[in-house]
A and B are shown apart, each in its own frame.
Chain A
Amino acid sequence: MAEKKITLEQVRHVARLARLELSEAQEESLRADMNEILAYVEKLNELDTSGVEPTSQVGEFGTPMRGDQVTNRPAPEEMLANAPSRERGHFKVPKIIE
C-alpha cells in the first residue's frame, strides 16, 4: 500500500477533513494507532485482486419506486425540539458570511 508510515502532518490533514479538533497528545496517539492498524491491513496486499470486482453492497437490490407523494406532515416544532440553539423557528448558527 502507498505509505507505510503516517506522519503527524497527515494526521492533522485527515483531522481537518473529518472536522475533528485534536490536542497534540491525541494527534500523537492517533498517529501510533493508525500506523499499527494500517500495518495490520497491509496483509491484504498478499492477495492478488487484479480482475476482482469490488463488493460495495450485498443483497438483491433494484431501485424501488414509489409514488411522488408527500407522506410526512410538517412538524417544525418537533424538528426544532432538539436544537442546541434556535431563534424564531430556525436553527441558529454562528455567522457564516461576512
Chain B
Amino acid sequence: MAAAELHRLTIADAQSRLRKREISAVELTRACLDRIHAVDPKLNAFLTVSDKEAIEQAHAADRRLAAAGAPPMCGIPLAIKDIYCTRGVRTSCGSRILETFVPPFDATVVAKLRAEGAIFLGKTNLDEFAMGSSTENSAFGPTRNPHDLTRVAGGSSGGSAAAVAADECLASLGTDTGGSIREPASFCGVAGIKPTYSRVSRYGVVAYGSSLDQVGPFAKTVRDAAIVLRSLAGHDPRDSTSSSRPVPDYERALTGDVTGMRVGVPREYLVEGMEPAIENAVRGALGRFEALGAKKIEISLPHTDYAIGAYYLIATAEASANLARYDGVRYGLRASAEDHIALYERSRAAGFGAEVKRRIMLGTFALSAGYYDAYYLKAMKVRTLIRRDFERAFEQCDVIVTPVAPTTAFRLGEKMSDPLTMYLSDIFTISVNLAGLPGLALPCGYDDKNLPIGMQLIGPPFSEESLFRAGDAYERSGAFKPRRPAL
C-alpha cells in the first residue's frame, strides 16, 4: 500500500504494521491529516483539526512502538465527537453557547486513549448538544454524507460517522442517547456500537439525557469496533453509574462461529413506510445468519410503538435539567444584561439553537407543577413496559436483528421543517436506550441510489461479546461487500 493510502487501513491491520515497523505512526497520521485536508471541505465532518498536536502525539507513539509492549491503541489516529472534553482543545458541542470553551481536563475515555498513545486528529461535527438525527442542528453547518453530498450523514454523531466512512481517520468516538451512533453509522455505511448503559464512563462527556447517554466507537469493521471498545470500557471512580464488571477481551470473542445462536426477529419492526430495499437487505442478512448455523425465531416487542413518545418526554426532561448549567457565568457565551435573570435569559436565548430550545421547553413543561405525573411519570412507567418486552424476548433468543432506521440517508433540509418526522428516524434505536441494552449497527447492503443500509443487533445487558461475534461472523462471511465512497 502506498504511503498516500495508509488512511484506508483498519485498526487491526495498522496495529500489526506499526508493530512490525513497516509503517510509522507519523506516516499514518500524516496520511489521515492529508486526507482530511483533501476531502473535509466537501464534508464538514471536522469542527477542529489538530495537525500540530497530532504529529507530536505520533512521534511519541513511534518512540513507544519501537519497544515491545505498546498498548493496543498506540499510534492509531482517531477523531473525537466535539462533545467530549479534551484538555486544551475547544469543545463546542456544536453550539454557539460553547463556541470558545476550552476544557481544562480530558473526559475519562479521552484520558484512557491518550494514556495508550492514541492520536487525536480533531473534533467532529454533531447536532447541537447531540440533539438531532441529521447533524443539521449544528451551529457550524451540517455534515454531508460521503456517499452522496446532497444527503445527511445522520446524527447526532454525523461528523464521526462520515469521518470513518471517508477514511479521514481509522476510528472515531460518538455518543448515543436515542440512536446517535447507530443511525449515522447506518447512513454512512460503517460499524458503530452503543454499549450497555454503564459499560463506559461518561465523565467529561457533556450530558444530554443522563439515564440514556452512552459512549461508543465508530469503525470500519466490527473487529475494529471491538478493539476500541475494550480500551474505552470499565469502571471510573468519577462516574458512579459506571459498572465495575470486568472488561472482556472483545476481540477474542470473534470466533466466526454462530452455530446455534438464536436470532430473534421482532414482528413489530416491519413498519409501514419502510423502504423495501431495507427490508430486503435485513432479510438477506437473516438468511445469511441461518446459513451460518444460527436459528431464526419470531419474537414480539409489543410496546415498540410507544418508545418514541416515552423517549421524547424522558430525554427532554433530563436535558432541561442538564442544560440549566449554561448560564453565561462561568464559561460560554454571555449576553449583556443589567440584572442576573436577564443575563441568564439572554445568554441562553443567544447561545442555543432552535431544536435545543424546543427540547428544553418540552422537558421543562413535562417536569412542571401539574404536568409531572401526566407526562414524565407516565413516560417512566411506559419505559418499564418497554424494558420488560426485551426481558421476555431474551428468554427466547440470544440476539435481536432489526433495521437501524426505516430509511437510508435523506436529503439535507428534507426533514428540518417538521421536528416530529425527524424524531421518527429513531424508531428502531430508541427503545434500546430506554432499556439500557447494547446495540451494534453494521452495514448489510445498499439501496438503488447506492446509499448504505444498516442492520442492528441488540442483546441483553453486557452481551457485547455475542453482538461482536455475530456481526464479525456476518462481515467475514462475505455476504456484503462495502463500497468506498467516491470523493
Binding site for B on A (CB under 8 A): 1-3, 6, 10-11, 13-15, 17-22, 26, 30, 33-34, 36-38, 40-41, 43-47, 49, 52-61, 63-64, 66, 75, 78-79, 81-85, 91, 93-96
Once A21-B346, A43-B309 are accepted as A-B contacts, the answer to whether A54 and B333 lie under 8 Å apart by CB is no
Q: Which B356-379 residues have a C-beta within 8 angstroms of A?
A: 357-358, 360-362, 364-365, 368, 370-371, 374-375, 377-379
Contact of A47 among B303, B333, B361 (CB under 8 A): B303
B382 with A44: CB separation less than 8 A? yes
Whether B340 is near chain A, meaning CB under 8 Å from some CB there, is yes
Contact B385 A49 (CB under 8 A): yes
Q: Which residues of A contact B291 (CB under 8 A)?
A: none
Of B1-9, B72-80, B237-245, the one contacting chain A is B237-245
From DSSP, what is the main secondary structure of chain B's interface residues? helix
Q: Does B487 contact A (CB under 8 A)?
A: no
When C-beta atoms are compared, the residue in chain B nearest to A92 turns out to be B329
- Give 1 or 0 for each of B326-348: 1 = CB within 8 Å of chain A CB: 01111111100111111111101
CB-defined contacts of A75 to chain B, threshold 8 Å: 104
Q: Are A37 and B420 in contact (CB under 8 A)?
A: yes
Give the shortest distance, in Å, between A25 (CB) and chain B (any CB): 11
Query: Is the pair B330, A47 in contact by a Cβ cutoff of 8 Å?
Result: no
* Residue from B362, B375, B381 in contact with A52 in the complex, judged by beta carbons closer than 8 Å: B381
- Complex contacts, A47 vs chain B, CB 8 Å: 303, 306, 382, 385
Provide a sorted-by-A list of 29 A–B residue pairs whose CB atoms are within 8 angstroms. Answer: A1-B378, A2-B374, A19-B324, A19-B327, A20-B352, A22-B357, A30-B358, A37-B420, A40-B420, A41-B312, A41-B375, A44-B382, A52-B381, A52-B384, A53-B384, A58-B211, A59-B198, A61-B240, A64-B244, A82-B332, A83-B330, A84-B329, A84-B331, A84-B332, A84-B334, A91-B329, A94-B337, A94-B339, A94-B343
Rounded to whole angstroms, the CA-CA distance of A19 and B341 in the bound complex is 7
Given contacts A55-B383, A84-B332, contact A63 B360 (CB under 8 A): no
The A interface, classified by DSSP as helix, strand, loop or mixed, is loop
- CB–CB B380/A56 < 8 A: yes
In the complex, what distance in Å separates the CA atom of A56 from the CA atom of B461? 17
Cα distance A14–B320 when bound, in Å?
A: 11
B277 within 8 A of A: no
Say whether B102 faces chain A, with CB atoms less than 8 Å apart: yes
Task: Point out the residue from A11, A21, A63, A79 that lies within 8 Å of B345, measured CB to CB.
Answer: A21
B residues within 8 A CB of A66? 237
Residues from chain B with Cβ under 8 Å of A3 in the complex: 371
CA separation between A91 and B377, bound complex, in Å? 38
Q: Which of B240, B340, B348, B420 contacts A64 (CB 8 A)?
A: B240
B38 in the interface (beta carbon within 8 A): no
A43–B309 Cα distance when bound, in Å, is 7
Q: Mark B426-459, 1 if CB is under 8 A from A, else 0.
A: 0000000011100000000000000000000000
Instruction: State A92–B320 Cα separation when bound (angstroms).
Output: 25
Question: Closest chain A residue to B367 by CB distance?
Answer: A17
Residues in A with CB closer than 8 Å to B334 are 84-85
Known contacts A14-B368, A15-B361, A37-B362: A94-B338 contact under CB 8 Å: yes
Distance in angstroms between the alpha carbons of A11 and B362 in the assembled complex? 10
Known contacts A44-B378, A52-B384, A94-B338; decide if A20 and B371 are in contact (CB<8 Å): no
Please pick, from B308, B331, B342, B348, the residue contacting A83 in the complex, using a CB distance under 8 A.
B331
